[in-house]
Amino acid sequence: MSKLVAPHGGKGLVCALLEGSELEAEKSKAAGLQQIEISARAKGDLIMLGIGGFSPLAGFMKKADWKNVCEKFQLADGTFWPVPITLDITSGDAAKVKEGQEVALVRKGKVFATMLVEEKYEMTDTDKKWECEKVFMGHGEDSVDGKFWKVAMEDHPGVKMVMAQKEFNLGGPVKVLSEGEYPAEYPGVYLKPAETRKMFDDRGWANVAALQLRNPMHRSHEYLAKIAVEVCDGVLIHSLIGNLKPGDIPAHVRVEAIDILIDKYFVKENVINAGYPLDMRYAGPREALLHATFRQNYGVNNMLIGRDHAGVGDFYGLFEAQEIFDRIPFTGDPAKDLLCKPMKIDWTFYCTECDGMASLRTCPHKKESRVILSGTKLRKALSEGGPVPDHFGREEVLVHLKKYYASLTEKVEVKMQGAASGDNM
């Protein structure tokens, strides 16, 4: 019997992905349904709904769930959930769709799902702004003293994404017909929750940590993973392989870099390199909660949360993504509460005086002795062809990343912020 944490929501893995004859029948039916074009973000959400990554969700949120999640971190039935999972459509499409109708959800000519429309609700600019303030506004310099709306529409990709959403949302259950390109492009890396759970069970793991990655794995990430290996049965290095913002490094480059690192610097039996198919929402602390929520479905009960987890610019406090775990609702019902707990790690860096990786909790030396590590800082150095400071990354990984940057014909400017530069340490 599995010793792993139960999937979130008390219903087991809720998987909307069809197979076999059911899949073929639904594909035939979808050909005759009204088609709704969906965003890249919605495509990733659909795949997660399909494979059970978003358990206990069975589809896109209706208005009561959307409102409760934004305001109270809970679905309408009281189950914890931190970020809206919604499907936006144009007013033109909304005029053609009636509640109770089935529609086909399409991305660039490919049918990804069918949906039973249980609710159609308008999203005004006021509604979108309210969602942004609830979900994306933090306690950092760019969120306080009335600055949020002065800078968010320029500098916060999550806010821009929500404000660009279409005029209506559809809510209701889905039947998922495709996992997209992920099984073919990322074999052995794109893993479903049922697959990671089996891998953990086969290794005898009961206490599992996850390391979230959207940047190349530098020495600080390596250090975090190894801290977790010391106190847990194993670590899932879990990279986002969906869409990122311009200037971020593509998934296949990052995945290959992790393989290089694991091969040279980890005991392979204690670590798994995997990816998940979502787009980044750039929701800072709320996204840290989302990362923990769906990792529970993958069989993970500890989520590594370091400095500025999922942060953007200076919208969030350095450790706000850790602190938010102390403020979420707790009902006492394990079927409704978040069971994946944060592993809160202090600011980590390489210290030349300590002659090794350290944190603010272990290193007594001055700032001048510390090599501040961040994914943004690494990307900026590599994109500009500048030198990478000593001890920033393993040489084998840096060679791999430099080869990628050398292949680019067009450079994207990488903006630095206080959290990445170490100026506010």
Region 273-290 average pLDDT: 95
All structural domains of the chain: 20-180 (3.10.400.10), 187-280+346-421 (3.40.50.620)
68, 107, 169, 215: the catalytic one is 215
Concerning whether 301 is annotated as a catalytic residue, the answer is no
**Single-letter code of the amino acid located at 400:** H
- 84 in Cβ contact with 131 (< 8 Å): yes
The model carries a pTM of 0.93
Residue 311 pLDDT level (bands cut at 50, 70, 90): confident
Average pLDDT, the chain: 93
pLDDT of residue 417: 56
Concerning whether 286 is annotated as a catalytic residue, the answer is no
- Reply yes or no on whether the pLDDT at 419 is more than 80: no
For residue 353 the two structure tokens come to: 């005086």
Model confidence pLDDT, tens digit, residues 148-163? 999 999 999 999 999 9
Model confidence pLDDT, tens digit, residues 374-406? 777 788 888 888 788 888 889 999 999 999 988
Residue 416 pLDDT level (bands cut at 50, 70, 90): low
- 136 in Cβ contact with 284 (< 8 Å): yes
Region 78-105 average pLDDT: 98
CA dist 325 and 293 (Å) reads 11
Give the residue with greater pLDDT, 51 vs 306. Answer: 51
214, 254, 379, 394: the catalytic one is 214
User: Looking at 166-170, 312-316, 419-423, which range is the least confident one?
Assistant: 419-423
- 208 in Cβ contact with 218 (< 8 Å): no
CA dist 343 and 360 (Å) reads 16
